[in-house]
Each structure stands twice: as structure tokens, then as C-alpha cells.
A and B are shown apart, each in its own frame.
Chain A
Amino acid sequence: MYNLIGAGLIVIGGGIGLGQIGGKAMEGIARQPEAAGKIQTAMIIIGALLEGLAFGALILGK
């Protein structure tokens, strides 16, 4: 039960983080479309780091 609540919290946190990353990346691309490639790569890396964090927490809590 507590596990599930914790998992929910992790997902909320991760979702907020991913939303921020994605939103800001979109803004960046809209502002500078010529830098889209670099922004995407950086976005994916940061997304991956966040994902690692969230998955780590999920698995440690399981």
C-alpha cells in the first residue's frame, strides 16, 4: 500500500520534471529553430537522467 503511494509520488515528481524539461525545450526550439538538434539531444540526456532517478526510486521502494 505505502509502496503504491510512494510510486505515485515518484510519478508525480517525475512527471512535473519531464514536463518542465519538455516545455522548456519546446520553447527553446521555438525561439531558435536552428538549434533544435542540440536542444533535443540535451533534452533527451536530461530526461534520461531524470528517468534513471525515478526508476531508481521506484525499484528501491519496491
Chain B
Amino acid sequence: MIATKSIKFFTILAVVFSSLTCFAASGGSTDTKEGQVNTPESINAYIKHHLADSHDFALYSYTNDAGERKHVGFPLPVIVWTSKGLKTFMSSEFHHNDDGHVIVEKGDVKLVKIHSKIYELNEGADHVVFDAHHHATNAHKVLDFSITKSVFGMLLAGLLMLLGFSSLARGYKKGAIPTGVGRLLEPLVLYVRDDIARPNIGEKKYKKFMPYLLTVFFFIWILNLLGLTPLGFNVTGQIAVTACLAIFTAVIYLTNGSKDFWAHTLWMPGVPKILRPVLALIELVGFVLIKPFSLLVRLFANITAGHFVVMSLIALMITLKNQFGPVASTGMSLLLTLFISVIEILVAFLQAFIFTMLSALFIGMAVEEHDHEHAH
């Protein structure tokens, strides 16, 4: 059992590394000095670059003896919907350029990448023109369905979840007590069911929402944890991702709202009739806009802030080198990073928990059926 698993693992590892070396060979930057991170400005830019989504999977980069910048990682497919239809190619065609200098021509569209976003040059333009705020003036964004690093991370998280939990599910066929990984996963499933879903949604209706809550909990948690690995994912720090999660939750609790919920939201009994429309407006805005917004912003901001702090602390070893010397600054940075990383592990769980908990709470509010015996 263990042997087959480790064989699987090493096969995956081998595939990853073989693609790495291919990419390293095909990679290679045109400019030599760019990419080295050693000034506060470049550190800021680097952190910003990390926080944004990326079209290739870069692990590390170095400058070789010839002064060339080498990037190690692997390219990811770019799928864009341009004015001339769907275009697909590998991200290695941009040669790691991120400021619009490398133009990829596909048919009759010219594509550039600026700050991790793909732009299409307007008709007739052959290079990007920037205005004072560094906005491109002669290019526009395209719809980008690429398998970006975040999408890759989500697929990875989904795969991990599927592997782990389907093995747990299969384990139950052999016996009532799970073995192996299942022993770790089962208490977590029970935790979500007994401590999140049951008390917040209620004994009668929680079962229907269990699959969503479980999926969201583990999806967010795994992605948060992936963000703490040196692979450098920042999936839950993408506003589109958290927005999608929040909208899913909102759609679920709005479509499952009980009659009582809508009655209480739109025509609150027990208050003067003049106030009712006002209250209805407040409640409606609260449920439709504010609650999902707070959900999406909380997750996004926590993870982004965490990554920002960790990376800034890592950067201490560069920024404080001149004042304290290399050893002291590295030591300081190491200690602080370790400390914050431990806290971030807690935050990774806490944010997954809070997202699931609040989703359950909102669902519980929506599906609750009031007791009409007591007056409001």
C-alpha cells in the first residue's frame, strides 16, 4: 500500500521536475539586471507581483555566469478570448516579461503581458504606450481564461481533496473505522458537521448544506495552506476567488430562504408600518450585498495581509543588511518569519473556519422557521 503510494508520489515528482528542466532550458530573459531583488522598490514590486496572479509557475530564478537571468519553473497554458476569437498558447512565449515589451502575435492579434494581466494591442499598434500612471493607452484587457497559477492551485487543491476524501469514503466500505489518512480526515468532517453546521443551521435542515460547507471548508483551508508553502500560491488572496466563494454562499442562502425569512426580511412584523420599507431595504442590502462583501473581503484581506507580512519579513534580510550586517539581519528575518508563519498556519485554519461558520450562520438565518407563538 505504502509502496504504491510512494511510487505514485515519485512519478508526479519526476513529471514535475522533467518539465522544470525543459522550461529552464527554453526560458531565459533578455535583460540581465532586471529580476534581481535588492532595493526597497524592487522588493515592493516583487511582493506586488507575488500577490497578483501569475501566468507561469516560477519556483526560483538566478543569474548564471554569463550574466543571464534564468528562471526555474514551468509554463502554464494561456487561454484568452480576444477580439478575434479564442487564442491559446503556452505562457513561456512571453519569456517572463511582465511589462509589455514582449509581443506575442497569434494570427492577427498582438498580445502583451503587463503586471500579470494580458492585454490586446489595438489595431495598428506595434508597441505598448504608457501614460503617466503607467496605464497602457493603446491596449485593452482581454477575457483571460488561462490556467494561471491560481487556477493550477485550485485544481491541485481539488485533486488533493478528491484523493483524500474518496479514499476515506472507500475506507468505509471495508469497515466502520477508517484507516490511514482517513483517521485524520474523519474528525475534521465530524468537526464541520457537529460544530459548524449543526448548531448554526439546526438539526432538521443541516444535512442538505453539508456537502457545500465541507467542500468550502477544505477548499479554503487547503488553498490557505498551499499559500504558505514555498510554491508561492496566493489563491485565496485573489479577489475573484473569494468573490466567487462568497457569491456561492449568497446564492445558496438566498435560494433556500424560508417563507418566514422573506416575510421577516421584506415586511418585518411588529414594527410600525411606515418603518417597514426602510427596514426591508436595510435587511435586503445586508443579505444581498453586505454579508457576501464582508465574507469575500475578510478572506481576501487576511490572506493578502498574511502574505504581505511574511514576504516583508523575509525581505528584512535585504533591507536591514546595511544597518545590521548580513548575519544579524538574516537571523532576525528568520526568527520573525518563523513566528509569523506559525501564526499564519493558525490564520489559514481560522479563515477557513470563519468562512464556513459564517456561511452556515447565514444559511441558518435564511432557513430558520420562526415560532409564530411569540410576538416579535
Which A residues lie at the B interface, using CB under 8 A? 41, 44-45, 48-49, 51-53, 55-56, 58-59
A52 touches B297 (CB 8 A): yes
Q: How far is the CA of A1 from the CA of B361 in the complex (A)?
A: 38
Contact across chains for B294 and A56 when beta carbons are under 8 A apart: yes
A48 touches B297 (CB 8 A): no
Task: Name the distance in Å between B200's Cβ and chain A's nearest Cβ.
Answer: 9
Q: Which residues of chain B have a CB within 8 Å of any CB of chain A? A: 195, 293-295, 297-298, 301-302, 350, 353-354, 357-358, 361
* A51→B298 contact, CB < 8 A: yes
Residue of A nearest to B239 (CB): A59
Contacts of A49 in B (CB 8 A): 294, 358
Q: What is the bound-complex CA distance between A56 and B239, given in angstroms?
A: 13
| Contact of B298 with A52 in the complex, beta carbons under 8 Å | yes
Inter-chain CA distance A51–B298, complex, in Å, is 7
Tell me the nearest residue of chain B to A56, going by C-beta. B297
The answer to whether B354 and A59 have CB atoms under 8 Å apart is no
| A contacts with B: majority SS | helix
| Minimum CB–CB distance for B89 against chain A, Å | 35
Q: How far apart are the CA atoms of A33 and B150 in the complex, in Å?
A: 43
Q: Does A45 contact B361, Cβ atoms closer than 8 Å?
A: yes
Given contacts A55-B298, A55-B301, A59-B301, contact A48 B358 (CB under 8 A): yes
Given contact pairs A44-B350, A58-B301, A52 touches B294 in the complex (Cβ within 8 A): yes
Distance, CA A52 to CA B354, complexed state (A): 11
**A51 contact set on B, CB distance < 8 A:** 298, 302
Chain B residues whose CB sits within 8 angstroms of the CB of A59 once the complex forms: 297, 301
CA distance A41 to B361 in the complex (A): 12
- Closest chain-A Cβ to B240's Cβ sits at a distance in Å of 15
Q: Shortest beta-carbon distance, A58 to chain B, in Å? A: 7
23 CB-based A-B contacts, threshold 8 Å: A41-B195, A41-B357, A44-B350, A44-B353, A44-B354, A44-B357, A45-B357, A45-B358, A45-B361, A48-B298, A48-B354, A48-B357, A49-B294, A52-B294, A52-B295, A52-B297, A52-B298, A53-B294, A55-B297, A56-B297, A58-B301, A59-B297, A59-B301
Q: How far is the CB of A11 from chain B (nearest CB, A)?
A: 12
Cα A57 to Cα B136 with chains together (Å): 29
Q: Whole-angstrom distance between the alpha carbons of A56 and B290 in the complex?
A: 9
Question: For B361, what are the chain A residues with a Cβ–Cβ distance below 8 Å?
Answer: 45
Residues of A contacting B295 in the complex (Cβ-Cβ under 8 angstroms): 52
Residues in A whose Cβ lies below 8 Å from that of B353: 44
Measured between beta carbons, the chain A residues less than 8 angstroms from B301 are: 55, 58-59
CA distance A58 to B300 in the complex (A): 12
